[in-house]
């Protein structure tokens, strides 16, 4: 039986046991896809990142939810590079990362914060019936209609597509009681990974918006703090000309407070969309992995 080093690193926070937890396997070379999926299932976190050798970049990454591989994950990318920097494997500066959506630039600041350049943004407004959307989210229909005239729902992507839905007040975002089966059906209909509901009504005075993200179709009922969705939301705000078309140089997106995992995502929208944040290691240990021809066995933590 083989063993690998495996960590839980909490992204978009500087305190362990908050923000969004990611599994990180620093050396995934030699693991089969089935073994990676089994490890992700054992972690039972929204995503686990496996770092691998790369030809075109400094390193390659593959991301797995407990049920499937996904092309991109912001918080696991932040977590993985924060760990590499803390472990002395990489220095502050710019590093390249091969993902399933292409090679991305990752910048590690001197203070350890990690910035991830997102893929080229796309934003596609969609006409979702307010009554249906209110039922799906479990919010009053008026909370959507109040802002929908100026800020329509849209499918936005900077690597992964999300259905971005503006809501008028924090009260309604916090009290949302989504029908997960209906969320999954709606996201499938619009070819979106998840539904990102946000409001400009925030808890902290320096925050730009507060959000929740639901992705049951990807095996994640509610993701605490979502980097890729934050990048998509930043692209969306530019597209709908929020703030009279002049976005702040840097925005802060709150997320995770309603699942007791508060976090903050820093978002910069310019020629590219960049997402950044801190991370803190919560668990650092060894995981026993059944041999490749014995993948149906139970993992031993």
> Is beta strand 263-269 parallel, antiparallel or unpaired with respect to 251-255?
antiparallel
Is residue 123 within 8 A of residue 156, CB to CB? The reply is: yes
What's the pLDDT score for residue 192? Answer: 98
- List, in sequence order, every residue forming a beta bridge with 3; answer none if it has no partner: 288
CA distances from 117 to 18, 103, 166 (A): 24, 10, 24
Reading the block at residue 156, the tokens are 């936005």
Q: Taking the model in full, what pTM does it have?
A: 0.88
Residue 47 annotated as catalytic: yes
What's the pLDDT score for residue 149? Answer: 82
Apex CA 277: angle with CA 272 and CA 279, to 5°?
145
User: What is the pLDDT tens value at each position of the chain, 301 positions in all?
Assistant: 689 999 999 999 999 999 999 999 999 999 999 999 999 999 999 899 999 999 999 999 999 998 899 998 999 999 999 999 999 999 999 999 999 999 999 999 998 999 999 989 999 999 999 999 999 999 999 999 989 888 999 999 999 999 999 999 999 999 999 999 999 999 999 999 999 999 999 999 999 999 999 999 988 899 999 999 999 999 999 999 888 878 999 999 999 999 999 999 999 999 999 999 999 999 999 999 988 875 455 555 5
**From 42, 47, 98, 184, the catalytic residue:** 47
Query: DSSP for 75-131?
Result: HHHHHHHHHHHHTTSS-SEEEEEEETTEEEEEEE-TTS-EEEEPPPPEEEE----HH
Task: Indicate the SS3 state at residue 180.
Answer: helix
What's the pLDDT score for residue 92? Answer: 97
Reading the block at residue 82, the tokens are 């924060």
CA distances from 190 to 36, 47, 128, 145, 185 (A): 29, 22, 10, 20, 9
What's the pLDDT score for residue 1? Answer: 67
In order of start, what are the domains of the chain with their CATH numbers? 2-117+279-294 (3.10.310.10), 122-271 (3.10.310.10)
What's the pLDDT score for residue 146? Answer: 87
């Amino acid at each position: 039986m083989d063993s690998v080093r495996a960590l839980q690193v909490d992204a978009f926070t500087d305190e362990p046991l908050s923000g969004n937890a990611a599994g990180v396997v620093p050396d995934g070379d030699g693991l089969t896809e089935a073994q990676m999926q089994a490890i992700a299932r054992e972690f039972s976190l929204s995503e686990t990142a496996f770092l691998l050798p790369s030809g075109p970049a400094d390193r390659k990454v593959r991301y797995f939810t407990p049920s499937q591989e996904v092309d991109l994950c912001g918080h696991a990318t932040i977590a993985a590079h924060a760990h590499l920097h803390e472990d002395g494997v990489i220095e502050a500066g710019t590093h390249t990362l091969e993902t399933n959506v292409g090679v991305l630039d990752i910048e590690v600041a001197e203070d350890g914060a990690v910035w991830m350049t997102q893929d080229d943004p796309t934003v596609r407004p969609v006409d979702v019936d307010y009554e249906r959307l209110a039922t799906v989210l479990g919010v009053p229909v008026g909370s959507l209609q109040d802002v929908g005239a100026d800020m329509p729902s849209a499918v936005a992507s900077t690597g992964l597509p999300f259905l971005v839905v503006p809501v008028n007040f924090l009260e309604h975002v916090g009290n949302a009681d989504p029908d997960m089966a209906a969320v999954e059906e709606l996201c499938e209909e619009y070819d979106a990974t998840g539904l990102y509901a946000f409001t400009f009504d925030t808890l902290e005075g320096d925050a730009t918006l507060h959000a929740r993200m639901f992705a049951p179709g990807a095996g994640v009922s509610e993701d605490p703090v979502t980097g890729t969705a934050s990048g998509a939301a930043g692209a969306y705000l530019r597209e709908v000309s929020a703030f009279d078309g002049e976005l702040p140089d840097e925005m802060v997106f709150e997320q995770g407070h309603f699942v007791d995992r508060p976090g903050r995502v820093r978002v910069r929208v310019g020629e590219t969309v960049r997402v950044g944040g801190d991370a803190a290691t919560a668990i650092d240990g060894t995981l026993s992995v059944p041999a490749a021809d014995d993948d149906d066995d139970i993992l031993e933590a």
